[in-house]
Amino acid sequence: MKNLFIKNFGCQMNLYDAGRILALLQKSHGLTQVSTPEMADLVIFNTCHIREKAEEKLFSELGRVRKLVRRRADGGRVVFAVGGCVGQAEGEEIFRRAPYVDLVFGPQNYHELPMMLDQLAGGHDKIFAANATATDKFDHLPQTGQSGPVASVTIQEGCNRFCSYCVVPHTRGQEWSRPVADVLEEIAVCLANGAVEIQLLGQNVTSYGALDESGTANDLALLIRRVALLDSCKRIRFVTSHPADMTDDLVDIFSEIPQLCPCVHLPIQSGSDAILQAMERGHNVDHYRTWANKLRRAHPDMTLASDFIVGFPGETEDDFNQTMALIEEIRFDHAYSFVFSPRPGTRAATMEPQIPLEMGRQRLARLQEKLNQVQLENNRQQVGKREEILVEKRSRMGQGLMSGRTRGNRWVNFPATDERIGQWVEVEIIEGLPNSLKGRL
């Protein structure tokens, strides 16, 4: 077995996991990453369960690779594996729907992949490993193989909040924070490999809590203070935050720590208290407003991002209009928005009345129009500013453009060449679009 194809779906935590899986299998089995499943001896889908669409993507991908079921040149079979959150949630059901899948594993079991591959090679037929409560995977992984200017490091996994619509507590398991020393060690390796920006990841980073070497409990604010002390760390960000976990200390560090970028992803989901209550979010609109205002006061360039769900069971036109009014009020700089998707095993899936999908879609279109309009206005106000940008990659817009982010997490596209990747440049903003800025060096 030589070649690995890994396709990732879902959130940044899954992307991080995919990187760790790659580094693990490079070390254990000498595998090399290839860019198409046709070239691979091992095909891994690292999946997402958050909405029905995400899950459908897996099964359509599985349908597509079915024709690749074959013997390899060395006589073994091509191995098909499904990992991540669908692996955890659907388990052995996946073998039934796609009988050529050999291996199903959950997000807390991927460190066992080398052993599972050996078992398959030794004649085992199907292997299923999904233990959502495991918390020791990081102890069994080789050091990160991340390179590049921006490195992401998972500091916290899982969730205990059980919002009524959400599968994450079921797929990722109980909330768990990595020990401070582990986190700092991994970040130090990333910095040594050339990273200058560190993103701290977690389903709920604001609930981070772990002991350091001296036995002192660190929360997120304290951890960020420690990261800021590391040489050559120029930017720090963290995602995702939960409004119910916000603290004054976490707000204060934005004016205290120069490396901490003034951007917070703080999802509110809905602007209606009745809906937030049915979602069991643990906060109301006024609570959110208080923290949004504190954050904006803490730093003049603070940007706020949110997630929204429309068409939640029982959402009336009035509830929806409250969400629209909230967008006008808070003037979010960025947002992800979704039509409610009833998920198996969640309470909201059986709440009444369910909102017809078509109505949900119409509300989503209206919501996104409003979000775009507000973002466009915000972005147009950036025109004329000079921003320090870390050049990250070629722009998706093509046309000889490169992309990087401002400290406030706004994407900027500007004419430049590939050699600039990893460099700091000063860019003048010349145009504001709904989801990005245009600039020139």
**Residues forming the site for ligand SAH (CB under 6 A):** 50-51, 165-166, 168, 203-204, 240, 242, 267, 269, 307, 309, 338, 340-341, 343
Instruction: Name residues contacting ligand SF4, limited to 156-175 (CB under 6 A).
Output: 159, 161-163, 166, 168-169
Looking at the Cβ atoms of 161 and 294, the one nearer to ligand SF4 is: 161
Looking at the Cβ atoms of 24 and 86, the one nearer to ligand F3S is: 86
Work out what residue 338 binds among ligand SF4, ligand F3S, ligand SAH, none; the CB cut-off runs from 5 to 8 Å by kind: ligand SAH
Candidate segments 9-17, 187-195, 294-302, 321-329, binder of ligand F3S by CB under 6 A: 9-17
- Contact between 50 and ligand F3S by CB under 6 A: the answer reads yes
Residue located via tokens 């939960």? 242
Minimum distance, C-beta of residue 203 to ligand SAH, in the bound complex (Å): 5
Distance CA 229, CA 188 (A): 11
Q: Tell me if residue 176 falls in helix, strand or coil.
A: strand
Looking at the Cβ atoms of 199 and 382, the one nearer to ligand SAH is: 199
Work out what residue 49 binds among ligand SF4, ligand SAH, ligand F3S, none; the CB cut-off runs from 5 to 8 Å by kind: ligand F3S
Minimum distance, C-beta of residue 82 to ligand F3S, in the bound complex (Å): 13
DSSP E strands, 221-361: 235-239, 263-265, 303-310, 334-339
Residue located via tokens 């921006």? 150
Looking at the Cβ atoms of 159 and 305, the one nearer to ligand SF4 is: 159
Minimum distance, C-beta of residue 290 to ligand SF4, in the bound complex (Å): 19
DSSP E strands, 1-117: 3-8, 32-33, 42-47, 79-83, 103-105
Distance CA 245, CA 98 (A): 41
Minimum distance, C-beta of residue 244 to ligand SAH, in the bound complex (Å): 9
Contact 313, 306 (CB under 8 A): no
83: Cα within 13 Å, side-chain hemisphere:
26
Distance CA 417, CA 425 (A): 12
What is the tally of helices (H) and strands (E) in the chain? 13, 21
Residue ranges that bind ligand F3S, judged by CB under 6 A:
10-11, 13-14, 48-50, 84-85, 167-168, 171-172, 203
